[in-house]
Amino acid sequence: MGDVFPRGRVSVAGASTFGVGEMPGHSTIEMAGKAVQLALADAQIGLPEVDGLFIALPDDLFAGLSLAQYLGLHPRFTDNNRAGGASFMSHLVTACMMLDAGYLDCAVIAYGANQRSSGGKLSTPARPDRWDAPYNPMYPLSFYALAAARHMHQYGTSREELASVAVAARLWANTNPEAFAKGPLTVEDVIASRLISSPIRARDCCLVTDGAAALVLTRTDRAKDGPQPLVPVLGAAAATWYNSVTQADDITVTAAAESGPRAMAMAGLTLGQIDTVQLYDAFTINTILFLEDLGFCPKGEGGPFVASGAISPGGSLPVNTNGGGLSCCHPGMYGMFAMVEAVRQMRGTAANQIAGAKTALAHGNGGTLSAQASVIFGNAETV
């Protein structure tokens, strides 16, 4: 046994974002609470019907309790799983199982962060562990830099190829009204930007923004009668291999190589049937690593794949159609925004809608390439 998933039996009934970009004067729980209100309105479900709360906040270790208090609910269950930016995909796994089992009837997954307005730096309580800390790596940036440097060494991945990831994200963002970073960006601009922790430069890094997002999940039989196009969850898998990526056998291979195939098997789909991919691009190397590990190109060929234009507007595999963490928003744990963009694509309401898209893969990354989680969404035709 293992990996038994209620394919298509749970659906996204509501989805929202709030305060993407800059939303000064709001605490993290106020941001998350507002997103929940909007997602429930989107689903036309009343607040008292919510009986499961799933949340991670950057500054609150007891966020599940705080959200119950803030919403004024007595939920049957709260989950404060902290797998970094993959937390929310992990929340979704648990929520789907509990909804399908009948333990819950209406689950909310929420996130909110104000790191742009509250200081302008990445806000995380996470630190290097005691074995890594004596060498003063930037956390988490230098850990990704070590992966990027090794990828360049092992496969010949070039600076230009890394930069092309940021350029593709910007091209998507330029036609998304919600995206925070817009304007021209070239490979040369990225390579000329400030070196931070080699080979990573400023334009290889995700944004620092505010933002909140929420999803409302119910069993599909109920969501079918809701006001929104049906977005069933076809598969979802989380994989955790370590906390510090220094402990990877091969730093160029992430646990996405496990989470992706497991989620795809649950969905009963092949990679060629995935219409769009929304993945957590904290740094340009992430997009290359995850596309390889998920199987969209062979290991080591991610650089040429992204540089070919395949992931850009008009390419064969639309990736991060909202502009991603690199150019749309990055409040600190981006996973929720990857899922909301996937849901919008499945509804047919994305700013950069992919015509005829029926399936979307949303992929979250947490820690230092440590925790990986993949979710496959579909539309009404897939169930």
Partner 1 sequence: MSGPGAEWDAALAESRFLLQRPTDGGGTTVFPPRAFAPGTGAELEWFEASGLGTVYSATWIQRKPPEPPYNVVLVDLAEGARMMGCVEGVTPETLHIGMAVKARIVGGETPKIVFDPVEQAHG
Q: What CA–CA distances, in Å, run from 379 to 8, 255, 294, 299? A: 9, 27, 21, 30
Q: Which helix (H) or strand (E) holds 161?
A: helix 159-173
Does the footprint of partner 1 cover residue 195 (CB under 8 A)? yes
Stretch that binds partner 1, among 4-12, 53-61, 92-100, 188-196 (CB under 8 A): 188-196
Does the footprint of partner 1 cover residue 146 (CB under 8 A)? yes
Q: What CA–CA distances, in Å, run from 271 to 90, 118, 175, 238, 368? A: 21, 40, 27, 18, 26
Q: Give the contacts of 130 (CB within 8 A, at least 6 positions apart).
A: none
Stretch that binds partner 1, among 129-137, 159-167, 280-288, 355-363 (CB under 8 A): 129-137
Whole-angstrom distance, CA of residue 58 vs CA of residue 69: 18
Applying the rule CB under 8 A, the residues between 234 and 293 that interact with partner 1 are: 246-247, 251
Shortest spacing between CB 97 and partner 1, in angstroms: 27
Shortest spacing between CB 187 and partner 1, in angstroms: 21
- Which residue in 73, 93, 145, 371 binds partner 1 (CB under 8 A)? 145
Does the footprint of partner 1 cover residue 162 (CB under 8 A)? no
Shortest spacing between CB 140 and partner 1, in angstroms: 12
Does the footprint of partner 1 cover residue 198 (CB under 8 A)? yes
* Nearest to partner 1 of 254, 379 (CB atom): 254
- Which residue in 48, 49, 62, 131 binds partner 1 (CB under 8 A)? 131
Whole-angstrom distance, CA of residue 231 vs CA of residue 270: 19
Q: Are strands 200-201 and 195-197 parallel, antiparallel or unpaired?
A: antiparallel
Does the footprint of partner 1 cover residue 121 (CB under 8 A)? no
In which residue are the tokens 């080699």 written? Answer: 198
Does the footprint of partner 1 cover residue 126 (CB under 8 A)? no
Q: Is the peptide bond before 6 cis (omega within 30 degrees of 0)?
A: no
Does the footprint of partner 1 cover residue 208 (CB under 8 A)? no
Does the footprint of partner 1 cover residue 367 (CB under 8 A)? no
Query: Nearest CA to 163 among 24, 21, 285?
Result: 285
Stretch that binds partner 1, among 8-16, 138-146, 184-192, 283-291 (CB under 8 A): 138-146
Residue 250 contacts residue 55 (beta carbons within 8 Å): no
Whole-angstrom distance, CA of residue 291 vs CA of residue 171: 19
Note the residues at the interface with partner 1 (CB under 8 A): 129-132, 134-138, 142, 145-147, 149-150, 153, 194-200, 246-247, 251
